[in-house]
Amino acid sequence: MSDSRDRVTLFLARLEASSILLVEWETSLQIRLGYPLASNGSRFLLVPDAQLQKVQDIAAELGFSPADEDTLRSAYPCELSGLAVRYLIDDAAHDEGPPRRRFVFLPMSWTGITRDELVPITVDDGLWPTLPSSVWTVPLPAACAAFARIAAREKHTSPIHDAVTEQLSSVIGYSLFDMSYEGDYMEFLPNDQPLSDQEKLEIEHAVMEIKSWAFREHEEWIRDVLIGIYTGKKTFSDLSNQKSATL
C-alpha cells in the first residue's frame, strides 16, 4: 500500500484485531498531557512485553521491516533505550528536514507502567488517524512516575536522562503552572529575583497536587524529589541513581 495513512490504519487495525494492548507514549502522550508539541504523525506505543513479538510478526506480514540506524536515525528519547522496535511509515527518504515518520514499539517494563494505571482514550481529539479501542493512555501522575523511574536509572549526564527530565518538567509545567506569557518572546528573569505572589501561589498549588498523587510504597522518593525540585531544594539531577529506583 502506497498511502501512508492507509498503512498506519491497517497496522493499527491488525494490532487491535489481535487484542494487543497499546499504550501511547512520547509525542501523543505529551500532547494529551498539555505539552503543546507538534506531531509529524509518528506513533510511539508501549506494549506488554509478552505481546511485543506478536507486534513484530504482524508488521512482517504487512511488509514492514525493522529499521536500524542506517535506515532510520534515532531522534526521540525512547529510541535511545536500545529496546525499541522501529518501522518507517513513509517510503520516501530524505536526509534533511524534520525526523522521518515512524512506528516505534517498546516493552511496557521499560517504563514500569502497569495495566491498572492505564485509562481508555474516550475522545477522538485528532491525535490518531483512527482511534482503536486497544489504544490506552497514561494519566499525569503515572506518566511522571514513569519518567522519574527512567531518569533514575541513568547517569545525570546521559542523553536519556536529559531528554526524559525535559519531558517530565514540561508536562508538569504545562499541567500545573501558567505557561502563558506576553509578547513575541519569553523573558528569562534572573535567579535572584524574588518570586511574585502569583508564582508563589502556583508553586503551592503544584506541591499540593503532587502530594495528592498516589505512588507505590517503594517509590515515594519520587514525590519527595519532585516537591524538592519545585520548592528549590533539589534539581532534576537528584533523580539519578536513586537506590530505590527498581521496577
132 occurs within a structural domain: yes
Is there a single domain that holds both residue 122 and residue 171? no
pLDDT at residue number 5: 64
153 lies in some domain: yes
Residue 132 sits in the same domain as residue 15: yes
Q: Please indicate, yes or no, whether residues 133 and 233 belong to a single structural domain of this protein.
A: no
Name the CA dihedral angle for 56, 78, 126, 62, rounded to a multiple of 10 degrees: -20
Residue 244 lies in a domain: no
Residues 85 and 107 in one domain: yes
pLDDT computed for residue 179 by the predictor: 78
Q: Tally the C-alpha atoms within 13 A of residue 13's C-alpha that lie toward its C-beta.
A: 9
Predicted model pTM: 0.87
Say yes or no to pLDDT of 237 above 70: yes
Work out how many domains the chain is built from and give that number.
2
- Could you tell me the residue range of the domain that residue 87 belongs to? 4-138
Same domain, yes or no, for 205 and 125?
A: no
Residue 245 within a domain: no
d(CA 166, CA 169) in angstroms, rounded, equals: 5
pLDDT digits (tens, 9 = 90+) for 12-49: 899 999 999 999 999 999 999 999 988 888 899 999 99
